[in-house]
Amino acid sequence: MAYELPALPYDYTALEPHISKSTLEFHHDKHHAAYVSKYNAAIEGTAHANQAIEDVIKAIYNDESKAGLFNNAAQAWNHSFYWNCMKPGGGGEPTGALADKIKADFGSFDKFKEELKNAAATQFGSGWAWLVLDNGTLKVTKTPNAVTPIATGQTPLLTIDVWEHAYYLDYQNKRPDYIDTFLNNLVNWDFVAEQLKAAM
């Protein structure tokens, strides 16, 4: 089934000064829209046309003959998820069951934060850093290019987009500054908590 480009869950200026209107316009309206458009064009008239995008991603992962389709499908899905991982006035620390689970599985929130920052900073080239639920345990992972944890059986709870187009207009080559700002000022812990609750 055709995948629809979701509207941003906030106004283009809502994340300023941390992420600019220009970045969101380019990132959502150009990059994300292009992945969605290419994905929809590629599945038209195929056996994948009636499948949910998540099922397509899982079915074609590691099929080299469908690498182009996978890249556009996974990037369309990853970006839709990423927008929800941020909110105006976000950041800080989570509370409740999510905070307890992070402490149980990582030892402390600071240890989790350190692991996530390291994963995002050390992902060579383009990619993503993730907090995932893997067989009941929270883990930090990173994926190159379009690869998404849903392809490997993990449940994504949070992601940081570290493709340059996510931050270059605002931070240039200072990826660590973007990562710090994401965690301190943008993370939507309510969304992350909802994902955890749904997965447990």
What is the distance between the alpha carbons of residues 151 and 162, in angstroms, rounded to a whole number?
19
Where is the binding site for Mn(2+), in residues? 27, 79, 161, 165
List Cα–Cα distances, 27 to 54, 83, 150, 175, in angstroms. 22, 10, 22, 16
Name the DSSP letter for residue 6: P
**Which pair of tokens denotes residue 80?**
């839709």
Whose tokens are 């067989």? That residue is 135
Detail the residues annotated as belonging to a binding site. Answer: 27, 79, 161, 165
Backbone angles phi, psi at 77, to 5 degrees: -70, -45
